[in-house]
């Protein structure tokens, strides 16, 4: 269990004691953010659902709704620095607003329940809650209104726009509404992508390393070392191409479909490797590696549709219908060819 | 590179202007500026920008919007294929899922 260093006090209110949160980062916060980005021990990133106070809010203060995922919670409390406000934290099982809204845990039901359970109509006199716009996927504003009498106002997509939103008299500009997918956003996602392979990242290279020792006369450890290490380099390059290069250079890589983008980066890196590093390699072997590296990079890039913020399900289904079988077949042919080459 | 655009002509979004009361809720919730507004009614301005999140559909008080929603994510689709269900992502195991 995390120590709750972000709680700095308690406020006596008409609806009972409400914990008061800090609006600054502690070292523990910084460390836990790093860990969560790399998905280490991620279950610890829940905060307790319920009502919190920022500063010294009163009856006229705004209520900001968020999820009980620690990073969502942190973003809001840090953005509210210097402001007196309430925070209503929904129980989303420790999942961020966007995901939880998609699943419905950040939704009409939980929001209406908490508005009532925490006696918000006694706590404030304005009957409004501010929900992050991305929560709209799970919240039907008109239903919350009819269930609780509270009006849902959709706030900006990014917590960092909250100050501007408040000072403009709670107006969301078209700019604040838009979900972007900037280079920085994508850089932050790379650790998540890299950790995708998990144990396959050890298993697959190990298999290649072992198989690389096969030859017409039996087995040779020297060959395993020689060809095996090269194979591992090729595999890691393909992995890097799909998990790092495609996300990073996404807008500049030709093609719209993610699998084609991945094929492009995969072949580009394979081309560079074989041109500079392994020129003397047998042409059939090079082709088998192009098939495998292209497929790996393409598959991993396709996986990035999960974290991208603009891909539709219909689109992903359409591209996968062709690309998934193509990846499997190409990787299969590449692999079998590579095995056969061991015995020639 | 202001807006990234995914595949063309695949999105299932539909708007029934007959039902629209012009409340602008769909415009407020859409993260990709898909809707425009003309003659007191909303209309679909840039359909290819839609990511099928469904925010507009559930927030339209008149039920004027229809869209097949789901996770636009490959892992989710594979998950669904394996389990023989609708695409669904396993958020609990992933740090930053769809
Ligand atoms: S939310 Fe529905 S009723 Fe309101 S403007 Fe959009 S389509 Fe029209
Ligand atoms: S489904 Fe989402 S992205 Fe598509 S129009 Fe509706 S709100 Fe916009």
Q: Is residue B95 part of a domain?
A: no
Report the mean per-residue pLDDT for chain A. Answer: 88
Q: In the prediction, which pLDDT does B85 show?
A: 66
pLDDT digits (tens, 9 = 90+) for B27-52: 999 999 999 999 999 999 999 999 89
Q: Which helix (H) or strand (E) holds A161?
A: none
pLDDT digits (tens, 9 = 90+) for A273-286: 998 887 777 899 99
Going by pLDDT thresholds of 50, 70 and 90, the confidence category of residue A39 is low
Q: Is residue B76 part of a domain?
A: yes
Q: Work out the angle at residue A335's Cα, subtended by the Cα atoms of residues A332 and A340, and round it to the nearest 5 degrees.
A: 125
Q: Is residue B63 part of a domain?
A: yes
Task: Please tell me the residue having the least CA distance from ligand 1 atom 6.
Answer: B26
Q: Is residue B89 part of a domain?
A: no
Rounded CA gap, A344 and A307, in Å? 43
Does the pLDDT value for residue A320 go beyond 70? yes
For residue A311, the chain B residues in CB contact (below 8 A) are 6, 51, 72-73
Q: If you average pLDDT over residues A37-60, what whole number do you get?
A: 79
Question: What six digits make up the tokens of B78?
Answer: 């594979």
Going by pLDDT thresholds of 50, 70 and 90, the confidence category of residue B86 is low
Question: What six digits make up the tokens of A203?
Answer: 């298993």
Going by pLDDT thresholds of 50, 70 and 90, the confidence category of residue A36 is low
Going by pLDDT thresholds of 50, 70 and 90, the confidence category of residue A291 is very high
Ligand 2 geometric centre to CA of B33 (Å):
8
Residues above pLDDT 70, as percent of chain A: 94
Between A and B, how many residue pairs show a Cβ–Cβ distance under 8 A?
152
Q: Cβ distance B98 to A102 under 8 Å?
A: yes
Number of domain units in chain B? 1
Rounded CA gap, A46 and A141, in Å? 26
Residues above pLDDT 90, as percent of chain A: 52
Q: Residue B80: closest CA among chain A residues belongs to which residue?
A: A317
Going by pLDDT thresholds of 50, 70 and 90, the confidence category of residue B98 is very low
Task: Please tell me the residue having the least CA distance from ligand 1 atom 2.
Answer: B60
Which CATH number do you get for residue B28?
3.30.70.20
Q: If you average pLDDT over residues A219-247, what whole number do you get?
A: 90
Q: Is residue B90 part of a domain?
A: no
Q: Is residue B88 part of a domain?
A: no
For A302, which of B74, B92, B96 is closest by C-beta distance? B74
Ligand 2 geometric centre to CA of B18 (Å):
19
Q: Is residue B47 part of a domain?
A: yes
Backbone angles phi, psi at A250, to 5 degrees: -40, -55
- Predicted TM-score (pTM) of the model is 0.81
Going by pLDDT thresholds of 50, 70 and 90, the confidence category of residue B96 is very low
CA distances from A140 to A3, A101, A137, B61 (A): 35, 11, 8, 8
List domains and CATH numbers for chain A. 7-177 (3.40.50.11600), 183-341 (no CATH)
Q: Is residue B94 part of a domain?
A: no
User: What residue ranges in A71-127 does DSSP mark as E strands?
Assistant: 85-90
Residue to mutate, B16, B28, B29, B65, ligand 1, most ligand atoms under 8 Å from C-beta:
B65
pLDDT digits (tens, 9 = 90+) for A120-136: 999 999 999 999 999 99
Q: In the prediction, which pLDDT does A52 show?
A: 95
Q: Are strands A50-54 and A16-21 parallel, antiparallel or unpaired?
A: parallel
Backbone angles phi, psi at A90, to 5 degrees: -80, 155
Q: If you average pLDDT over residues B69-74, what whole number do you get?
A: 71
Instruction: Domain of residue B55: give its range.
Output: 14-83
Alpha-carbon gap: A43 to the closest alpha carbon of chain B (Å): 8
Question: ipTM value of the model?
Answer: 0.81
Q: Are strands A63-67 and A85-90 parallel, antiparallel or unpaired?
A: parallel
Does the pLDDT value for residue A300 go beyond 50? yes
CA distances from A196 to A100, A123, A158 (A): 21, 45, 26
- Residues 42-81 in B contacting A (C-alpha not used; CB under 8 Å): 49-55, 58-59, 61, 68-78
Nearest CA to A257 among A337, A322, A166?
A: A322
């Amino acid at each position: 269990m995390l120590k709750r260093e972000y709680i700095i006090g308690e406020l006596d209110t008409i609806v009972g004691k409400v914990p008061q949160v800090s609006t600054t980062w502690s070292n523990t916060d910084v460390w836990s953010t790093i860990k969560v980005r790399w998905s280490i021990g991620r279950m610890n990133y829940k905060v307790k659902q319920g009502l919190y106070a920022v500063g010294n809010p009163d009856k006229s203060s705004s209520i900001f709704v968020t999820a009980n995922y620690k990073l969502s919670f942190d973003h809001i409390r840090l953005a509210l620095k210097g402001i007196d406000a309430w925070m209503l934290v929904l129980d989303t099982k420790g999942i961020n607003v966007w995901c939880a809204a998609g699943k419905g845990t950040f939704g009409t039901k939980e929001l209406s329940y908490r508005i009532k359970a925490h006696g918000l109509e006694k706590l404030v006199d304005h009957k409004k809650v501010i929900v992050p716009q991305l929560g709209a996927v799970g919240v039907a504003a008109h239903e919350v209104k009819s269930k609780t009498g509270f009006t849902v106002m959709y706030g900006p997509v990014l917590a960092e726009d909250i100050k501007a939103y408040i000072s403009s008299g709670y107006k969301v500009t078209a700019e604040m509404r838009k979900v972007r997918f900037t280079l920085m956003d994508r850089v932050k996602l790379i650790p998540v992508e890299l950790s995708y392979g998990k144990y396959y990242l050890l298993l697959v290279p190990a298999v290649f390393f072992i198989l690389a020792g096969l030859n017409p006369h039996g087995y040779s450890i020297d060959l395993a070392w020689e060809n095996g290490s090269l194979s591992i380099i090729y595999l890691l390059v393909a992995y890097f191409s799909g998990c790092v290069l495609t996300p990073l250079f996404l807008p500049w890589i030709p093609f719209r479909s993610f699998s084609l983008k991945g094929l492009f980066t995969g072949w580009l890196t394979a081309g560079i490797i074989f041109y500079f590093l392994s020129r003397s390699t047998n042409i059939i072997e090079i082709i088998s590696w192009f098939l495998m590296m292209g497929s790996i990079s393409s598959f991993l890039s396709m996986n990035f549709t999960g974290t991208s913020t603009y891909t539709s399900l219909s689109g992903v289904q359409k591209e996968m219908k062709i690309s998934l079988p193509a990846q499997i077949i190409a990787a299969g042919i590449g692999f079998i060819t590579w095995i056969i080459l061991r015995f020639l | 590179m202001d807006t990234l655009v995914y595949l063309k002509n695949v999105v299932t979004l539909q708007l029934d202007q007959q039902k629209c009361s012009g409340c602008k809720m769909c415009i407020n919730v859409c993260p990709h500026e898909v809707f425009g507004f003309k003659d007191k009614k909303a209309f679909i301005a840039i359909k290819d920008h839609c990511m099928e999140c469904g925010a507009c559909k559930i927030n339209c008080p008149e039920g004027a919007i229809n869209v097949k929603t789901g996770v636009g994510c490959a892992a989710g689709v594979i998950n669904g294929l394996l389990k023989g269900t609708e695409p669904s992502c396993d958020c609990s195991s992933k740090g930053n899922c769809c």
